[in-house]
Amino acid sequence: MDKDQLKPFMLKSLRGDDAAHRELLARLSRHLRAYYRGKLSRIGRSATEAEDLVQEALMAIHMRRHTYDPAEPLMPWIYAIARYKLIDHLRHTRASMTDVPIDDVDPIGEEDDASGVESSIDLGRLMEGLPEKMRTAVKAVKLDGLSVSETAAKFGMSESSVKVSVHRGLKALAAMIGREKTS
Amino acid sequence: MKTDDLIDMLGTNVEPVGKTAGRTLTLTIAGGALIAGSVVLATMGARPDLLASTSALFLCLKIGLMLLVLVPASIFLGRLARPGGEKRVSLVLLALPFVAVAGLAIAALSITPKSHWSAAIVDDEWLECLISIPVIAIVPFAAIIWAVRRMAPTDLVRAGAVSGLVAGCLSALGYALHCTGDSIPFIAIWYGGTVVLCTLAGALLGPRLLRW
């Protein structure tokens, strides 16, 4: 695998390119799926649980992408997040860390995996748990695809308030996904 | 939820990302230095003999020593705050100044008559030093943890430890403005020791405070 073939997508997505960001996350999700299934299947955990982790990691990558230094290669950064979320998950689901050989990589391989597996996370229900302003902003901007200015006009908010609400809403969703999955 | 649905959501109206991640941390550390210095000057005051040559020499020595730890520790904290950054830090390098000062202290004591040892180590101010440095470190520590939490550390013990180390150094820098304990063994034990204490506290608190 060419280690840095995904980096151009990351650089574009940091500049706010929707298509590049989707492509990046879609490709990373295949890497992450192979990684988490590989690790979790060894301790008899389900594909659903692996998918939970894939989604948690994608959310983390999205929310923390400002910590990626464009001068560095991308995959070690991705791998560090994937590994951190795996260890955190195992620690909080009471698996002994020695059960899973975390460090004998298996560098994250891209697996051809047309998976229809869903995670146990119910986005609709998580959205219900958001404060109203955040829910409105996230739904309009992230699910319905309205622009920030359209959303601001429609709901009588300022544009900066829409942006802040979307950001806080996603952050809250990321935290909920972390707590929600398989707990 | 299908992962594709999540990707659709995250990939809609993607916000551009600025390069502020590292800058916030640097500004927080600089702010922590100001806070520590101001707290010391406001509550305890500068040492009265600040301008005398020997005390100025020892003040410079303390400040120089603390900077020798603070500068690399701050750089390493910037790395530890990013995923995978723990592979690019050397804790040995951070420990070197402590080892060097401990060595100097032992050398200084070895040429000092034993009867004078207690005067060199247990100056009048040792208890104040022992208490002040960790207490003054609390506010800078909280600020640094806040800044690191906004990033993405993946080794929480080390990130916590170096956060504690940086906060301890900032506090010791401020406290040096007040402290009149001027001997190498005093500095080694009461400055070195308390900063190590701050580091250990940071290592213990890191996994709780920095989890994301």
Whether A64 contacts B152, CB under 8 Å: yes
Is residue B11 domain-resident? Answer: no
Which residues of B are less than 8 Å from A31 in CB distance?
none
Specify if B3 maps to a domain: no
- Asked if residue A81 and residue A45 are part of one domain, the reply reads yes
Distance CA B21, CA A67 (A): 6
**Domain with B146 in it:** 22-209
Q: What is the mean pLDDT of residues B130-150?
A: 96
**A94 and A128 assigned to the same domain:** no
Which two three-digit tokens encode residue B56? 């100025």
pLDDT for A180 beyond 80: no
Under the banding of pLDDT at 50, 70 and 90, the label for residue A113 is: low
For residues B97 and B140, what is the distance between their CA atoms, to the nearest angstrom? 22
B159 to chain A, closest Cα gap in Å:
13
Shortest Cα distance, chain A CAs vs residue B164, angstroms:
21
| Of B126, B125, B141, B143, nearest in space to B28 by CA | B143
Distance, CA of B191 to CA of B197 (rounded, Å): 10
Domain that holds residue A167: 121-183
Rounded to the nearest 5 degrees, what angle is found at the Cα of A121, between the Cα atoms of A118 and A123?
105
The region of weakest confidence among A150-164, B71-85, B175-189 is B175-189
**Residue A172 in this model has a pLDDT that exceeds 60:** yes
- Residue B127 CA to residue A40 CA, distance in Å, equals 52
Share of chain A above pLDDT 70, in %: 85
- Given a cut of 50, is residue A112 above it in pLDDT? no
**Claim to verify: residue A103 and residue A137 sit in the same structural domain:** no
Domain count for chain B: 1
* Model pLDDT, residue B113: 87
**Does B4 reside within a domain?**
no
Kindly list the residues from chain B whose CB atom is less than 8 angstroms away from the CB atom of residue A166: 13, 15
Residues of B in contact with A116 (CB under 8 A): 2
Q: Which of A25, A76, A87 is nearest to A53 (CA)?
A: A87
Test the B interface: residue of A25, A52, A67 with most B CBs within 10 Å: A67
Residue type, B40: V
Average pLDDT over residues B69-76: 96
Based on the fold, state whether residues A110 and A171 are members of the same structural domain.
Answer: no
Q: Which long-range contacts (CB under 8 A, 24 or more apart) does B206-211 make?
A: B206/B153, B206/B156, B206/B157, B206/B158, B206/B159, B206/B160, B206/B161, B206/B163, B206/B164, B207/B156, B207/B157, B207/B160, B209/B145, B209/B149, B209/B160, B210/B145, B210/B148, B210/B149, B210/B153, B210/B156, B210/B159, B210/B160, B211/A88, B211/B156
Q: Is A14 found in the same domain as A101?
A: yes
Provide the percentage of residues in chain B whose pLDDT is more than 90: 74
Nearest to B147 by CA among B74, B72, B67, B71: B74
- Residue A182: its pLDDT value, please? 52
Per cent of chain B over pLDDT 70 is 99
How many C-beta atoms surround the C-beta of residue A34 within 10 A? 19
- Indicate if A33 and A62 belong to the same structural domain: yes
pLDDT tier at B183 (50, 70, 90 boundaries)?
Answer: confident
What is the pLDDT confidence band of residue A1, given thresholds at 50, 70 and 90? Answer: very low
The mean per-residue pLDDT over the stretch B35-57 comes to 88
Of A18, A135, A9, the residue nearest B12 (C-alpha): A18
Does A21 share its domain with A101?
Answer: yes
Q: Is B10 among the domain residues?
A: no
Note whether ipTM > 0.85 here. yes
Q: A120, A147, A171: which is the final residue of a domain?
A: A120
Based on the fold, state whether residues A80 and A137 are members of the same structural domain: no
In this prediction, residue A116 has a pLDDT band, given cuts at 50, 70 and 90, of low
Same domain (yes/no): A79, A112: yes
- Domain final residue pick, A72, A91, A120: A120
Q: Are A27 and A84 in contact (CB under 8 A)?
A: no
A109 pLDDT more than 60: no
The verdict on a CB contact (< 8 Å) between A15 and B16 is yes
Asked whether residue B137 is domain-assigned, the answer is yes
The answer on A104 and A155 residing in a single domain is no
Q: How far apart are CA B138 and CA A13, in angstroms?
A: 38
Kindly indicate the confidence band of residue B78, based on its pLDDT and cuts at 50, 70 and 90: very high
Is residue B91 one of the residues assigned to a domain?
yes
Whether pLDDT at B149 is above 50 = yes
**pLDDT tens digit sequence for B100-110:** 999 999 999 99
Interface of B with A (CB under 8 A): 1-21, 81-85, 87, 151-152, 154, 211-212
Helices (H), B11-125: 21-43, 53-80, 91-110, 117-121
Rounded mean pLDDT, A20-48 = 93
Between A44 and B40, name the one with better pLDDT. B40
Q: Do B152 and A64 touch (CB under 8 A)?
A: yes
- CA–CA min distance B205, chain A (Å): 16
CATH number at residue A140: 1.10.10.10
Residue A78's nearest CA partner among A89, A68, A91, A66 is: A68
Cα B4 to Cα A89, A103, A114, B193, distances in angstroms: 22, 28, 11, 53
In a domain, B2, yes or no: no
Least confident piece of the model among A33-37, A46-50, A99-103, B14-18: A99-103
The number of domains in chain A is: 2
Residues of chain B contacting A15 with CB distance shorter than 8 Å: 16
Residues A106 and A159 in one domain: no
- For residue B141, the model assigns a pLDDT of 98
Which residues on chain A are in Cβ contact (under 8 Å) with B85? Answer: 80
Selection from B44, B81, B78, B35 nearest residue B177 by Cα: B44
Greatest CA separation for chain A: 54
User: Which residues of chain B does A170 touch, with a Cβ-Cβ cutoff of 8 Å?
Assistant: 10
Among B71, B65, B55, B60, residue whose Cα is nearest residue B101: B65
CB within 8 Å: A60 and B21: no
d(CA A118, CA A124): 14
* B79 within some domain: yes
Write down which residue in A101, A120, A139 finishes a domain: A120
Same domain, residue pair A107 and A130 = no
